[in-house]
Structure 1
Amino acid sequence: MDDVKFRKFSISKTIILLLVLFLFFISYISKSFQLLLISITSFLLLGFYFKQIKKNFLLILLSISLVLTFIELVLFFMNTQFNFFKKNDFFMKNIKYEKTFLGYQPKYGKHNHLIISNGKTLLNAVYTIGKDGFRVTPKISEKNYTKNINFFGGSDLFGWGLNDDETLPYFLQNNEENWKVKNYAINGYGVQQMLAQIEKNPKILEDINILVTSNGHIHRSSCKIDYTFGTPKYVIDDSNNLKRDGYCGNLFLTKIQLPKIFGSIVNRSEIKKLFDKL
């Protein structure tokens, strides 16, 4: 190969590589598992430009990637409804989360939860989050507390869509002014978060501890919902004992949590959603 042909060949490889990297970047920004598979398939195609790579092995990987990509795209378009003529509603949810040992918690400060549809405000609530990552229950008075009560649960107890002075823990504290109420509930939480908290710090248990759960929380504890990625995982062993088994969606890793972005992309896999329903 002369210098001119070699230079053109190198330029073409560089351009293709940049396009592949751009696809990876777009899949990361859009959190699209389908685009990620297309990026991987394109990357494998790039491998045929290199003589050092065994083509038979590469062909096997490419075939698997193409099949998975095809299935993902078919399922995606089957399960996604597109209406290009429908006017899009405006929706803004200004709530920021951070990764913790419980999976996720709202960041410290005030968060505005706002939903506007067709110019009409459907919801406009403010959540105050303490430095510990849990919702603040406003004090009714400066009386000395004689009892401490904890609430554990999901969005109902958290007060999703309600202001700080509209939640169930607030009304209980308003009714029982001598009780100090702590709200450990967060939207999307289940029994596993309560157990993980107690295991890490048994001293959080107070005079009264209430867990509010329902049948709808079963999929959270069994890691069958996409937003459970990175949350505490528990299993029942052969001796029928409950034991900690790492984190939901964490593959074979049990000691560390994978980055949240990993779960955000993988949980958008249509194939995974199909298996989660089994």
Structure 2
Amino acid sequence: MANLSVKINTLKFKNPVMTASGTFGYGKEFEDFVDLSRLGGIIVKGTTLEPRQGNDYPRMAETPQGMLNCVGLQNKGVDYFVQKIYPFIAGYDTNILVNVSGNSPENYARCAEKLKDLEHIPAIELNISCPNVKDGGMAFGTSCTSAAAVVKAVRAVYPKPIIVKLSPNVTDITEIARACEAEGADSVSLINTLMGMAVDIEKRRPLLSIRTGGLSGPAVKPVALRMVYDVAHAVKIPVVGLGGIMNERDALEFMMCGATAIEIGTANFIDPQVTVKVIDGMNQWLDDHGVKDVNEIIGCID
């Protein structure tokens, strides 16, 4: 068997396979389907400083080769997570990361600060695709200045590794990645969902309650691969790849384009065992091709 372990700064993963935030709950929802200890990491659902009710229904819609969602970061807030969720997941034998969201740099920082002393949360992922309430609702991740401001504020209070989840809804994602790197991000993950829309022609109205939502699934993979490749060649920090990964071949493509690790999202809704299948399939491919260490293929495409 090949060595599947990888590292992001000081954070070690037994293999490169993680779950994407919002598609795996807090991990315990999948205990009956997956041996969670086999995963490289679990990124729990988006967590905010204050509780959020999310958007009105309907907030999910199927599309050809993908799905749209506008759930709206529904969660009970970081204090509830610390008091009620963390005690139940702290014993998992894998890396547990919290996806942190906010509406101002200070808001992100306050949320992250409440997580810094949790022994079994070794890192966080910052979701900068959230609307900036001080800047007319523009997402933090669509501006170098606002993205950098979030990372700077969190870096000042959070000493553990920070992964920044980048929005693809930008002109040049490499500029955003560099801005995050300059302010102390340990890694960037990409891509978050692409903005999309679906219409019910019988009712003559959008399928989603707020008209638009985030597109994920196989349809976004070619875009995600291109962006991972570009960012991996633009920054010196590790890149985490996600976007339409459905099997081990997809995962290997992302790693060959420069991803140190990958996240699986929408595929969890289709097959709750997909993560361990990807781990096994990746290992088999490496053995079949005489590759002793998965790190040998990371960024092998020039």
TM-score interval (norm. to shorter): under 0.3
User: Between Structure 1 and Structure 2, which shows a larger proportion of helix residues?
Assistant: 1
TM-score normalised by L of structure 2 = 0.24
Return the index of the structure with the highest Cα Rg: 1
